[in-house]
């Protein structure tokens, strides 16, 4: 019998990824719960064996209360606190995963399920930082394009010449090309808008 697993996550895509991973590993009974739509008390009615939850949700306190009522235990059992491997626990906390062992899921299975969750939560964090880096790179690129266009118009340079001008200035002043481009663009903007007519000018 496959243990009944509930994933509580308001990030639908991440929850889907994790349930697919678990499915492929042979855990067939996985239910997704979005805490913004479903009151957390109702989770107990689904009689799960294991709950895996996004730690950044405010609903953990409610879940722990329901759990301790449902099983009449003295307090919630946080799975990773029963693990004797502190590094694994630290990893789960850092990745933002918490989990509750409610019934008889073997510790081997649990570790596997949690390890998948940690990997997927961490991957998403990486994807987000990659996205931020890509957005920043795109913004820099736009800045350089604008600076090049301005230099081409004002100094009658070709595109490669304008780029070389920026690059040489950056090298001479040991700044990044994007920084040089930003100051070129700022200069042009300042000329285009005389300060006294610009209420937002510093």
Partner 1 sequence: MSEDVKSPSVARATTNVARIGVLRLTDSAPAIVAHEFGFFADEGLDAKLSVEPSWANVADKLAHGALDAAVILPPLALAMALGLRGPTEPLIVPYCVSLGGNTITLRKDVATGLSRNAAGVVARLREIGAEATLGVVHDFSTHSLLLRYWLAAAGAIAERDYRLVVVPPARTVEALETARIVGFCAGAPWGEVARRAGAGSTVAHSDDVWQSAPEKCLAVRESFAAEAPDRMAGMLRALYRAAQFCDAPENSTYVAALLSRRRYVGVDSHAILSSLSGGPTGSNTSRFLKHAATFPWRSHALWFLAQMRRWGLISPDADLKAAARLYRPDLYAAALAPVGAPIPASDAKIEGEHREDWLLPASPAPIAMRADAFCDGALFDPASVA
Query: Which DSSP symbol is given to 3?
Result: P
The radius of gyration computed from the CA coordinates of the chain, to the nearest angstrom, equals 27
- Tell how many helices (H) and how many strands (E) occur in the chain: 7, 4
**Binding partner 1 by CB under 8 A: which of 23, 28, 56, 153?**
56
- H or E segment at 168? helix 159-172
CB of 117 to partner 1, least distance (A): 15
3-state DSSP of 98-114:
EEEECCCCCHHHHHHHH
CB of 104 to partner 1, least distance (A): 20
Spell out, one character per residue from 6 to 45, where the chain touches partner 1: x when CB under 8 A holds, - when not: ---------------------------------x-x----
Nearer to partner 1, 60 or 148 (CB): 60
By CB under 8 A, is residue 61 in contact with partner 1?
yes
Helices 107-155 and 86-95, packing angle to 10 deg: 50
Spell out, one character per residue from 74 to 103, where the chain touches partner 1: x when CB under 8 A holds, - when not: xxxxx-xx----x--xx--xx---x-----
The token pair that represents 48 in the structure block: 């799960």
Q: How many residues bind partner 1 (CB under 8 A)?
A: 28
What residues line the site for partner 1 (CB under 8 A)?
Answer: 39, 41, 55-66, 68, 74-78, 80-81, 86, 89-90, 93-94, 98
């Amino acid at each position: 019998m496959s243990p009944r697993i509930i994933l509580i996550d308001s990030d639908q895509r991440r929850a889907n990824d994790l349930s697919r991973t678990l499915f492929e590993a042979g855990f067939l009974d996985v239910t997704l719960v979005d805490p913004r739509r479903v009151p957390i008390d109702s989770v107990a009615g689904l009689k799960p064996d294991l709950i895996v939850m996004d730690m950044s949700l405010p609903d953990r306190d409610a879940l722990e209360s329901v759990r301790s009522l449902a099983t009449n235990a003295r307090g919630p059992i946080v799975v990773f606190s029963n693990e004797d491997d502190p590094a694994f626990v630290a990893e789960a906390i850092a990745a933002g995963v918490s989990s509750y062992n409610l019934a008889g899921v073997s510790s081997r299975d649990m570790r596997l399920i949690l390890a998948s969750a940690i990997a997927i939560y961490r991957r998403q964090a990486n994807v987000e930082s990659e996205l931020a880096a890509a957005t920043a790179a795109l913004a820099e690129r736009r800045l350089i394009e604008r600076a090049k266009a301005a230099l081409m118009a004002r100094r009658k340079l070709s595109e490669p010449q304008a780029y070389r001008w920026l690059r040489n200035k950056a090298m001479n002043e040991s700044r990044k090309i994007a920084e040089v481009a930003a100051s070129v663009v700022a200069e042009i903007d300042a000329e285009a808008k005389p300060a006294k007519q610009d209420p937002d000018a510093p």
